[in-house]
Amino acid sequence: MQPKVLIAGFEPFAGETLNPSWQVARALHGTQLDDEVTIQAVKLPCIFKQSLLCLEQAVNQLQPAVVILLGLAAGCSQLMLEKIASNYIDAAIADNAGQQPRNALTASHGPAAYFSNLPLNAILQALHLQHIPAQLSLSAGSYVCNHSFYGLMHLIKNQYASIKGGFIHLPYLPGQVLNKPGIASMALETQIEAVKICIEVSLQQHADQLIA
């Protein structure tokens, strides 16, 4: 059986009318890669609780080999390959259901953090080879994205050890920064191409080995 890939993007939040993460995921939905891998996209609500429920349901249903969560990091200029999901939530703004947890744990019995188990170094190299700006990031923030990233890694750790999963933050799309002078963006086509590369490398490579 061919491996399946689940890609998730978020609905808009913080007054924006769109979210590049969903635009990219949506564009990749149904795409057939060279070796007949199917990509399935799911749209996550920008709501703490529901985002995790939605994600878990999609993982349980699809049983994918690779899960890549995407989200917007307002103002970043490059793809941010998130290395660390932390067990910490401190929302600077309310989520789309009006909830604003402060100084809270994502999982009351979970470890302080999980590492992504995507092959981030190989992904970074592959992106740079195509001249796509990207960097490793050591914090996915303390909002809904970090919450879902931690939830995914918790699920992998406890139920799906074979899944390779992680999180990538994306820049704004050019149309979102017309009235935000000096704020970085990246064309949708570049973001789509970039995430496709992330998927392909994730299917081929093992997670980064840490030196003990």
Residue nearest to ligand PCA (CB): 145
151 lies in the site for ligand PCA, by CB under 6 A: no
Token pair belonging to 63: 């049983």
| Piece in contact with ligand PCA (CB under 6 A), picked from 34-42, 71-79, 125-133, 199-207 | 71-79
143 lies in the site for ligand PCA, by CB under 6 A: yes
10 lies in the site for ligand PCA, by CB under 6 A: yes
| Shortest Å, Cβ 110 to ligand PCA | 18
Rounded CA-CA distance 94/100 in Å is: 4
Q: Chain centroid to CA 175: how far?
A: 21
| Shortest Å, Cβ 145 to ligand PCA | 3
Alpha helices (runs of H) in 63-183, residue ranges in sequence order: 120-129, 144-159
User: Residue 20 or 37: which CB sits closer to ligand PCA?
Assistant: 20
Exposed e or buried b for every residue in 56-81, given b needs 16+ CB within 10 A?
Answer: bebbeeeebbbbbbbbbbeebebbbb
84 lies in the site for ligand PCA, by CB under 6 A: no
Phi, psi angle pair for 113, to nearest 5°: -160, 160
User: Residue 9 or 64: which CB sits closer to ligand PCA?
Assistant: 9
Query: How large is the C-alpha radius of gyration of the chain?
Result: 16
User: Do residues 54 and 44 make contact, with C-beta atoms less than 8 angstroms apart?
Assistant: yes
- Of the candidate residues 5, 7, 8, 13, the single one contacting ligand PCA (CB under 6 A): 13
- Of the candidate residues 27, 28, 65, 73, the single one contacting ligand PCA (CB under 6 A): 73
What residue ranges bind ligand PCA (CB under 6 A)?
A: 10, 13, 19, 21, 46, 71-73, 141, 143-145
